[in-house]
Structures are given as C-alpha cells and as structure tokens.
Amino acid sequence: MEKRFPDIPSLLSACLLQDEYADTTPLIASLSHVRQTGYFTRSEFLSMCKWKEPRERRRQQWVSHTEDEVRMLSAKAFAAPDEARRILHLCRFRGVGIPVASAFLTLVDPEQYGVIDIRVWQDLTLYDEVDYDPDGRVLQLLHWLDYLDKIRRWADTFNVSARAIERTLFQHHRDIQTERLYP
C-alpha cells in the first residue's frame, strides 16, 4: 500500500468524508431510539448484522438468537459502565466479533463510534498510529480501545462524528489498496 500523506491528520484534512452513505442513513435513523430504550430488537439486530456482513457467512448463528436474548444482551451492553464491557457484551452474540459489535455501536450512535475492520486498522498501521498486528486480521479488545480513542480524538479535532473519521479511513484504504484483503 502506498502512503500518500505524512500522517492521519493530514489525510483527514485532505479527504474528510462527512456525508453518510445513502443506503446507511435510513438504518441509522431507524435505530435512533436505541440509546433511549437501551436495547435493540431481534429484527434490528439482524438488519445490523446484514449491513456489516452482507454475505451473511454467519447467518445461521445470528438467526438462532431469540427476541429475549437479543434484548437482554443488548440491554447489558448499553448499560455497561465502560467501552470494554460494552463491546464484550455485544460479542456474546453468536457470530459476532469486535468488528460486527463495533458496527452495532456505530449504527446506534455514529457521533461517538466508528466501525473497526481490517481496512481502518491497516491504515493506522501504515501511518504509524499503532505498532502491533499490522494485518489486523483478528481484531480484539485492545485494538478496539486503541482505535476508539484515536477516532474520537480526531473527530474532536475536526469537529465531525467518529463515523466520519472511520468512513474516511475506510475509503482511503480502498483507494490505496493494491492486493486483496482476504485470500
């Protein structure tokens, strides 16, 4: 991959994306009540899973959750006192790891969250923002906490949502990618 800017703030200054994808806007709007109710439904859960992983490789695991399980696990997550516990509760859903759990948080509160995935993690590595796990193929809690801290700091600096920072990093990676991410 080609490093086109000296650092992430320079990249963001040049390439910042502020408008949400047209197909994502309605989903975010439909989830706006979740912060107030403190949980999401099974139908909302399945919609968010499909949004993050359209190929639905884990569909059988996702659909195995009952309405009560989804409400209970999501309520525990949104009631958690810190980010680590919040995302770990969401990872208790079958077929959900850190990237999908981060998508739930992002879709419910895009001001404060951005999706973590291999692309954004590789951008952080390329621009020397992190010095471990350069491939980002198995994203864990430490990755999430480091990432969240960074995108929130940049969001404050640029006066945009954390989601805008994430989308910019994601798009930048797509623009500079020279090889397939997944074999």
58 pLDDT tier (thresholds 50, 70, 90): confident
| Residue at 5: amino acid letter | F
The answer to whether 170 touches 117, Cβ cutoff 8 Å, is: yes
Q: Report the candidate in 162, 111, 121, 172 with the shortest Cα–Cα distance to residue 144.
A: 121
Res 11: pLDDT: 96
Q: What is the pTM of this model?
A: 0.93
CA dist 146 to 8, 55, 121, 123, 131, Å? 15, 28, 10, 13, 11
The answer to whether 176 touches 11, Cβ cutoff 8 Å, is: no
Q: Using one digit for the tens of pLDDT, what is the confidence trace for 142-173?
A: 999 999 999 999 999 999 999 999 999 999 99
Q: Does residue 128 have a pLDDT over 60? A: yes
What spatial distance separates the first Cα and last Cα of the chain, rounded to whole Å? Answer: 17
Res 171: pLDDT: 93
- What integer is the mean pLDDT of 107-120? 96
Return the structure tokens found at 42.
């099974």
